[in-house]
Homo-oligomer: A and B are copies of this chain.
């Protein structure tokens, strides 16, 4: 990637001239700001002649080359942390944002009751799958459109934002009509046709790490979204596959400081899927906070024993508020905070 840093005092018309120059050469400028400077990134191939010419344009401070596999996702391109603002809630800021809800939308009662509970506990977003990618074709595949309607109703009643999964390009339109954040599941992290299509949307994307993908590959999948023009990307760790058998997957907590070092994108953790065991969720969620995660995504169900999927790992709705008190204490010890619903809400 070519990285053009403009002088702090560069005039608007100088900036425009650089952009026009790039467009005349069929190059797409990706623009960001860092430390009061304007930065312009070019991910297409360029030659050294062009680099020299760019360096000579008025208002240009320097022209550099970024060698990393991920470019627009890197700290080199954008040093300030990206904050994804959804319905007034900032993801990637000081607040640690909690997304909670059932694995799958199963029924109106199940979804609404869970939604009220997690809202009262301090969650900001409701999660729930309407389309479920399942290893077996015979497992429950989600309620589909009916599930999306129930999510929309839950948002209306609780004011929680909606996070739900999209599993194919053809579905994006219908899911995006309801979802505030579109989730790409672990199995689709390298479904590049899906990433390309989501990159052309203007809604935030929650990108889950594949269970056997490296952190670098996750950042390269994020790069697909950014390169297509969507910079509202939230990364999510949900555990990687290892030889250990007591847990379903192993949460890789080092991803938190590593993403914060390498990239400007926010990173949240999903302890429920990794653990596959309700009792392990609270300590792992607390660990995520202490590692510096920007948020949590937690499965909560009103009746986990009868859940249609992932019941064993879902917290009981009545435990949620108590746990959030505990999480809030750790967040504060970290100098951050977790939202607390005021009494008149509940």
Contacts and interface: CB of A to CB of B under 8 A. Distances in A.
A293 B213 CA distance: 28
Q: Which 5 A-B pairs have the closest CB atoms?
A: A212-B212, A168-B193, A290-B290, A286-B290, A287-B287
A286 B291 contact: yes
Contact of A43 (B138, B193, B250, B253): B138
Interface string A49-76: 0000000000000000000011100000
B258 A227 contact: no
Nearest to A196: B137
A223 B137 contact: yes
Contacts of A274: 254
A243 B240 contact: yes
Contacts of A190: 133, 135, 187-188
A192 B70 CA distance: 27
A295 to B, nearest CB: 15
A224 interface: yes
Interface stretch (A6-14, A94-102, A275-283, A301-309): A275-283
A216 interface: yes
Contacts of A288: 287
Given A284-B291, A287-B253, A193 B167 contact: yes
Interface in A297-345: 329-330, 332-334
Interface in A224-267: 224, 227-228, 240-247, 250-254, 256-258, 261
A283 B70 CA distance: 24
Given A250-B250, A279-B261, A134 B192 contact: yes
Interface string A80-116: 0000000000000000000000000000000000000
A129 to B, nearest CB: 13
A332 B290 CA distance: 13
